[in-house]
Structure 1
Amino acid sequence: MRSVVYSEAGDAAAVARVEDIPEPPAPGVGEVQVAVSVSPVHRGDLVGTSKALSSGVSMRALGTEAAGVVTAVGESVSTPRVGDRVAVFPAVGAWSERVTVPAEAAVIVPETVSEEIASIALVNSVASRDVLRAIDELRTTAAVPDEAPLVVSAAASAVGKLIVRQAIDRGWEVIAVVRSERSAATVHTHFPDTPVVVTQDGRWQRELARLIDGRPVPVISDAHGGPFVQEILPFLADAGTLVVWGDLAAQPWTLATMDLLMRELKVRAVSISRWMSRPDSVRAADREAALELAERHPELLAVHATYSLEELGDAINATRTNGSGSVLLTLN
């Protein structure tokens, strides 16, 4: 079967290749096999090729999330069944024509959700729910009223939009912070009643202060990182927490230790890589909620373009350069 693999560490554009590899093993106890229809190219997938392979491993298949059809089930599996359309995550080697995964990783896709939307329904939604779980806990511990504003940076990003949507559904007031007018337009399109602050504007801090209007902000959700951290911290209430879930700037933080010490500020990081350590019940609920969110708000799961395996290089380049949605690979 065809699969995207790499054999040596390096830039994905240089080392990732399409190759015929052996079929995956038949599903064992508690496993299912899925014929992959579509799989997204996440930026994290591309970063993965920078890691050297373990000793004795000659190649590794890429991809982590997909949508497809169940073709076989192992013992003790009652759901999903053969023929069911499913979204799968985590699915190591998802850029392959077939993958074998634990049955719990495969969630049945509602009839109204397309293959393309199903293929990107899990990772970003699961990440957003993990971030919101942390925010919810912090706001509850601090006895924060619902009307206290939640400041969300990177609000136009794939995960950011999902955070904003679910925060609004909780009845929280959200103030979105974005880097460009283009991103602001994205937020206005999806959340017309949500105020947006654009950091390209040299007066953005004054505008954010006006929107906060002297109210305490015990939690700020941030994915910008870099120098922006120092700029956003003054808006955090004393003893407040910066919930960090991304690093779009890809630069070191410029942060004065005394700013944290004098105001007893805290930083809480949330990473999708730690999600598999969450309790089984939490992960199952997150997967189900992700598909429900995809069914209710497919507009939040934007697709930029779809490529065949023969166009792998174009797909990698598009993932790195586009800002309008996910890039997909078609396999079957």
Structure 2
Amino acid sequence: MRTVVHTRQGDPAQVLMLKEDPGPPPRPGTGQVLVRLLVRPVHPGDLAGVEGLPGLPEQRPPEVRTPGVEGMGVVESVGPDVRALRPGQRVAVFPAPGTWADFVVVAADRAVLVPEGVGDETAALMLVNPLTLLMLHRALENALGEHEGPVLQTAAGSSIGRLVSAAAVRHGLPLVNLVRGASGARQMRSLYPTLPVIATSDDDWREQVRHHTGGRPLQVVLDCVGGALTQDLVRLLADGGTLITYGRLGSGTTALEELPLVQRGLTVQGVTVWHWTHRTPDERAQDVAFALDLAQNTPDLLEVAARYDLADVRAAVEHARRPGKSGTVLLSSERSTGTREEAVR
């Protein structure tokens, strides 16, 4: 059994290592299933968990820790009291800490049957990002209230950013997209020609935002960049506006005391997919149904950048960090022949 582990926080390319254990895989307990994982994504949140959050003391794992919270595989065995699943079925799992391994034990209710016709790679991506989209949509609706917008989102070329753009086009949301550079802007314009796209590499990007909003201040900003960009985003917000933050892709820091929250009545709201587990079973079932529908009918929204063998985790991490990357990098438990990188689409 192969497992990617780290014993301390730091640069994933430096602290991650592959551990091989000749012993048998773990056994599922009551209400659990053992899943033989085939594919799992490299999400920004996975890397953030390895690196640690800026400004916080290093959190040393008890002994070793395995990254990953999502993946797709085959049920290997089931524990007592599991009736809905059986060995051999394809499932997607979330939340399932430790998916960067050949096997993972999860609660049976965290394993979702993969419909026929949905590919392995699509199934590996069909939970975290679509569920995050739903979490953001709810936060956005609450923040807008009776306002219709406009709304700005950062890192629009990211996997979640593209999902947000697709939803905005479908629902008529006045969304303005921010990307890092000109190439990303061209790509987003080709995908969503009705949505304005602005590159923050342009010196006048703030003026461009104001132009595309008709001079109206922003009611909401969806931000997964943070860092030094936060000051500029807050300046673009209307008084009483909301900054919804759900990631930390940017560099630098902005102290909370530097933001005019009280003077301008601003709200900063954090959103994480981990809070999805607090929803009721019926609500979670509805959300999973949405994710399944997206995977079956619009799988192109769950784009894959490349696929690497689990043993090549450091190369996968390097690719996941590349500026302008399109799609999500996957880690596979199936060793490929030929080159180590298998470009997809």
Category of TM-score, reference length = shorter chain: 0.7 to 0.9
Distance 1:222 1:38 in 2: 28
Mapped pair 1:248 → 2:253: no
Distance 1:14 1:169, change over 3 A: same
What secondary structure is seen at the aligned counterpart in 2 of 1:7? Answer: coil
What secondary structure is seen at the aligned counterpart in 2 of 1:52? Answer: coil
Alpha-carbon distance, 1:8 to partner: 4.2
Aligned partner of 2:46 in structure 1 is 45
Distance 1:25 1:315 in 2: 26
8 Å CA contact retained: 1:80, 1:107: no
Aligned partner of 1:93 in structure 2 is 98
Mapped pair 1:260 → 2:283: no
Worse-superposed segment, 198-207 or 153-162:
198-207
Alpha-carbon distance, 1:193 to partner: 1.4
Aligned partner of 1:281 in structure 2 is 282
Q: What amino acid is aligned across from residue 331 of structure 2 in structure 1? A: L
Alpha-carbon distance, 1:24 to partner: 4.0
Worse-superposed segment, 4-13 or 311-320:
4-13
Deviation sequence 1:283-304 (CA, Å, 0-9, x none): 3333332232222322222222
Aligned partner of 2:126 in structure 1 is 121
Aligned partner of 2:28 in structure 1 is 27
Distance 1:77 1:227 in 2: 49
Distance 1:312 1:261, change over 3 A: closer
Distance 1:124 1:295 in 2: 15
Aligned partner of 2:142 in structure 1 is 137
Distance 1:189 1:298, change over 3 A: farther
Q: What amino acid is aligned across from residue 52 of structure 1 in structure 2? A: R
What secondary structure is seen at the aligned counterpart in 2 of 1:239? Answer: strand
Distance 2:264 2:15 in 1: 47
Distance 1:258 1:330 in 2: 43
Alpha-carbon distance, 1:317 to partner: 2.0
Deviation sequence 1:240-259 (CA, Å, 0-9, x none): 11111122213212677573
Distance 2:65 2:153 in 1: 36
Percent identity between the two aligned chains: 37
Mapped pair 1:67 → 2:75: no
Deviation sequence 1:143-171 (CA, Å, 0-9, x none): 124xx322222111111111222233333
Aligned partner of 2:204 in structure 1 is 203
Aligned partner of 1:330 in structure 2 is 332
Distance 2:229 2:15 in 1: 33
Deviation sequence 1:14-48 (CA, Å, 0-9, x none): 33222233444332332222111111222332343
Distance 1:168 1:34, change over 3 A: same
Distance 1:60 1:214 in 2: 49
What secondary structure is seen at the aligned counterpart in 2 of 1:230? Answer: helix
Q: What amino acid is aligned across from residue 53 of structure 1 in structure 2? A: P
Aligned partner of 2:17 in structure 1 is 17
Distance 1:227 1:314, change over 3 A: closer
Distance 1:267 1:281 in 2: 29
Distance 1:12 1:211, change over 3 A: closer
What secondary structure is seen at the aligned counterpart in 2 of 1:189? Answer: helix
Distance 1:23 1:49, change over 3 A: farther
Aligned partner of 1:222 in structure 2 is 223
Distance 1:199 1:11 in 2: 26
Deviation sequence 1:156-214 (CA, Å, 0-9, x none): 11111112222333332222122211221232232121121222222222222222114
Give TM-score, length-normalised by structure 2: 0.85
Alpha-carbon distance, 1:9 to partner: 4.3
Distance 1:233 1:108 in 2: 42
Distance 1:328 1:29 in 2: 30
8 Å CA contact retained: 2:227, 2:248: yes
Distance 2:283 2:27 in 1: 28
Superposition RMSD in Å: 2.4
Q: What amino acid is aligned across from residue 14 of structure 1 in structure 2? A: Q
Give TM-score, length-normalised by structure 1: 0.88
Aligned partner of 2:338 in structure 1 is none
8 Å CA contact retained: 1:24, 1:100: no
